Amino acid sequence: MKTDNPGFATLAVHAGAQPDPTTGARATPIYQTTSFVFNDADHAAALFGLQQFGNIYTRIMNPTQAVLEERVAALEGGTAALAVASGHSAQMLIFHTIMKPGDNFIAARKLYGGSINQFGHAFKNFGWEVRWADPADPANFESQIDDRTQGIFIESLANPGGTFVDIAAIAEVAHRHGLPLIVDNTMASPYLVRPLEHGADIVVHSLTKFLGGHGNSMGGIIVDGGTFDWSASGQYPMLSEPRPEYAGVVLHQTFGNIAFAIACRVLGLRDLGPSISPFNAFMILTGIETLPLRMQRHCDNALAVAKWLKGHDKVAWVNYAGLDEDPNNALQKRYSPKGAGAVFTFGLKSGYDAGKAFVEGLQMFSHLANIGDTRSLVIHPASTTHRQLSEEQQVAAGAGPDVVRLSIGIEDQSDIIADLEQSLAKI
């Protein structure tokens, strides 16, 4: 790609890719192989010693995966990226790189239910503590920081409520205390929000959602912003101290502004093993090519649906930042002027039972635990994704008993609304 300073849509199609040098294939090939041949013993030694970049074993890296990583890093404005098996895998590797037993991190309490479960339960087995904070109140994050706090985690656009978070304000808190800000940008995608431009240091995605976009492939990715000084405080020894498994290499000193992505790969992915398959990397790459077209259609459709629901007599409330009267509208216009995303929640006046009945009465919408598909999707979080939480925790996460979550697809607006209308009529 020779274009100087290419635009977003151009990057979505071309970043990281070039015709295959051997065959001339235009599409990135699926390198469906477990391992790669070394030129000689010295070449192998250089690869294993981190003295040279190259492919060793698909658990660690693969050429198809490499194109995906470069493309998403370009779209987010990062220095490097690491693609892995899922969004949960990506989160695990991030915290594995910065946390030690007994350490803690501060997380926004409005998160995807699976992240709440991972942070609050599974991470305890590593000796990592999560402390919950109100994403609407940056001071709430600051009040919980102590000398064992290693980072702050938020979603740019919170799941399931579709509320925007003041990234810059929370970044200021993090950086004042010498901590990295980690932002899950899954719901917004870099088409709508680029967290690194607002002070984030690390961006994470579930590639399964909007970036892949077609509900057919699992994946996750970590994007290194290249801005955080991992050596300043001595709190991050995996980056700032000599690594015995690599003959004393100090990763931050050696790799500079791509050191975090390297550490996640060679200290986390190498040993914990949640690698993405070459086929899934290929499928997600293909999906990314149409990301700007899909995301704008998602946003336009979602706004039309939210306005329609707002006027329905069986609907108690609609939480969509794209509505002018929504309390989150100012943040949406500041951080995401192209649109408010595809995912939002609303409440039915009849509560929990009505929510379940409504979901079951839909015909075109798919009832499943996913977002970011070309198809319109629906779920009742309190009885599904957030069921493991107490009612108090559900309400705090924006997934109370009356809440229905919609992920609006790219179908015709009239057909989406007609399906909603026929199901509401049955309640």
Does the pLDDT of residue 160 top 80, yes or no?
no
Does the pLDDT of residue 401 top 70, yes or no?
yes
Express each pLDDT in 305-316 by its tens digit: 999 999 999 999
Q: Do β-strands 157-158 and 149-155 pair in parallel, antiparallel, or remain unpaired?
A: unpaired
Residue type, 302: A
Express each pLDDT in 116-143 by its tens digit: 999 999 999 999 999 999 999 999 999 9
Q: Which range (1-5, 266-270, 302-306, 402-406) has the least confidence?
A: 1-5
Which single residue is written with the structure tokens 């501060």? 106
Residues 320-336: what's their mean pLDDT?
A: 97
Express each pLDDT in 242-266 by its tens digit: 999 999 999 999 999 999 999 999 9
The candidate with the shortest Cα–Cα distance to 377, out of 253, 241, 210, is 210
Distance from C-alpha of 15 to C-alpha of 200, rounded to nearest angstrom: 22
Distance from C-alpha of 119 to C-alpha of 114, rounded to nearest angstrom: 9
Alpha helices in 218-367 (DSSP H): 237-240, 251-255, 259-263, 270-272, 278-288, 291-310, 329-335, 352-361
CATH class of 9-287: alpha beta
Res 1: pLDDT: 61
Q: How many residues does the structure list for the chain?
A: 427
Handedness of CA 356, 362, 366, 370 (dihedral sign): negative
Res 350: pLDDT: 84
Distance from C-alpha of 287 to C-alpha of 5, rounded to nearest angstrom: 22
Express each pLDDT in 353-367 by its tens digit: 888 899 999 999 999
Q: Do β-strands 104-108 and 149-155 pair in parallel, antiparallel, or remain unpaired?
A: parallel
Q: Where are the domains of the chain?
A: 9-287, 291-425
Express each pLDDT in 36-48 by its tens digit: 999 999 999 999 9
Distances (CA, A) of 144 to 139, 374, 380: 9, 40, 32
3-state helix, strand, coil in the chain (%, to 5): 40, 15, 45
Please indicate whether the domains covering 9-287 and 291-425 agree at the CATH topology level: no
Between CA 80 and CA 334, with CA 198 as vertex, the angle to 5 degrees is 135
pLDDT confidence bin for 390, thresholds 50/70/90: confident
Does the pLDDT of residue 389 top 90, yes or no?
no
Neighbour tally for 124: CB within 10 Å: 11
Neighbour tally for 164: CB within 10 Å: 28
Does the pLDDT of residue 340 top 90, yes or no?
yes
CA neighbours closer than 13 Å in the CB half-sphere of residue 274 = 21
More confident site: 5 or 145 = 145
Distances (CA, A) of 31 to 18, 28, 55, 72: 14, 9, 11, 19
SS3 201: coil
Domain 291-425 has CATH 3.90.1150.10: yes
CA neighbours closer than 13 Å in the CB half-sphere of residue 193 = 35
pTM of the entire predicted model: 0.95
Does the pLDDT of residue 166 top 90, yes or no?
yes
Does the pLDDT of residue 4 top 90, yes or no?
no
For 142-198, strand residue ranges (E) read 149-155, 157-158, 163-164, 181-184
Q: How far is CA 202 from the centre of its chain?
A: 11
pLDDT confidence bin for 3, thresholds 50/70/90: low
Res 380: pLDDT: 87
Neighbour tally for 37: CB within 10 Å: 8
Is the bond preceding residue 19 a cis peptide, omega within 30 degrees? Answer: no
For 196-241, strand residue ranges (E) read 202-206, 220-224
